[in-house]
A and B are shown apart, each in its own frame.
Chain A
Amino acid sequence: MWINFPLFPQRASAMAWQVDGLFFLLLAVSGFFTLLIFVLIFVFSVKYRRSVHPHPVQIEGSLPLEMAWTLIPLGICMIFFAWGSLIYFQEARPPQDAMQIWVVGKQWMWKFEHETGQREIDQLHIPVNRDVKLVMSSQDVVHSFFVPAFRIKQDVLPGRYTQTWFRATKVGSYQLFCSQYCGTNHSQMIGEIIVMDPMAYQAWLGLGGASGSLPANGRQVFQQMGCASCHRSHGQGTGPDLAGMFGKPVQLSDGRTVVADEDYVRNAILNPGAQTVAGYKPIMPSFQGQVSEDNLDALVAYIKSLAQPQPNATSQMQ
């Protein structure tokens, strides 16, 4: 009846080994301490039961013992703290050359958009052994992007981007869950990550489904919304020149310097007054509520592409 009865998740990313390694070590250590307590309680309660040991021996306590069971667990804990933090930092920093997928969560589906323009719903095709960076935002409530086989999870928030990344190491299909409760069909907000070998992936890309690359779409939105009237090239417009801006530090009018990453560009569109570039007047209107989450991603992708000498997304893929 129940043929499929696994007790451990699949392991299909570079990170999975690291997480499992730490997990097993921690399991062994905590198993040891649990066993220690269980055995001690069992031995004491048998050996010193009232019928054989009617006269208790009063003991005040022991400072060396107290120190030992304060400091030893603390020391062990610090090892796990350091190791766990290392893994976490790796997870938090996507490699520079990772291919980028734009993810939008909404009640109750996942929307994916490739740089090359392919759009998918509840399914994400990616090539094996390639770093994949996910730039995610939500259209409504908080969701969470969780792929057990990759051991990654990141909440997807409305109003800003969050990021995570992975490198799938095994061809196959893996479950994607929304793990942050998001309403009625939370448990239906599932999907699959289809990891393909590079040839098959190229074939899949060739199938079509792409309506122009994402930066190209962004360019269209850019024109339609009239952004180009101010953001002209070579500093001729009333707004800053956007070419070559992405990924570089930007001097703000309030003296701060920030790096123009996805979140900065997004904020600059939705909330321009907050982080005006130095030397420009804060005259840009807010586009909050006027641009959909998908178009926003496209705009950001377009502005990002302006920073690359060869904005040819497909050539990067090899």
Chain B
Amino acid sequence: MAAPAHTGHIGSLKLYLGIWGLLLLLTFTTVMVAFVDLGPFNIVVALVIATIKGSLVALFFMHLRESSKMTMIVAVASLFWLFILLSLTMTDYVSRAWSTRLH
């Protein structure tokens, strides 16, 4: 019979509230940064902040931090395949302009 010890780690209330505060703060930051002209870096900053927020949600709220190695692999795999889809599709779009330069 399963012992209570098997029921998984219980995170502290403080931690959850702290992550929550951090997420709200980051949301505020990303909105503010959007009004500053950083040229092409606006999107970079926005995506970096979104990725930090996403990682916080995954690591703490979804308990990825204390999950099995297999679960981590699944999470990383999702990003890897998304990367394949986006990057290989973009190889076509980005380099289409190159071919015209050759003429």
Contacts and interface: CB of A to CB of B under 8 A. Distances in A.
Direct contact of A and B (CB under 8 A): yes
A258 B97 contact: yes
B100 interface: yes
A247 B101 CA distance: 9
Interface stretch (A39-47, A202-210, A259-267): A259-267
A92 B99 contact: yes
A93 interface: yes
B102 interface: yes
Nearest to B103: A261
A26 B76 CA distance: 40
Contacts of A247: 103
Contacts, number: 16
A59 to B, nearest CB: 33
A93 B100 contact: no
Tell me the interface secondary structure of chain B in the complex.
helix
Interface residues of B, number: 6
Contacts of B97: 258
A94 B99 CA distance: 12
Interface in A244-278: 247, 258-259, 261, 263-264
Contacts of B102: 93
A304 B101 CA distance: 16
A258 B102 CA distance: 11
A94 to B, nearest CB: 8
A74 to B, nearest CB: 21
B101 A259 contact: yes
Interface in A65-119: 92-94, 96
A210 to B, nearest CB: 27
Interface of A: 92-94, 96, 247, 258-259, 261, 263-264
User: Ordered nearest first, which 3 A-B pairs have the shortest CB separation?
Assistant: A261-B100, A259-B101, A259-B100
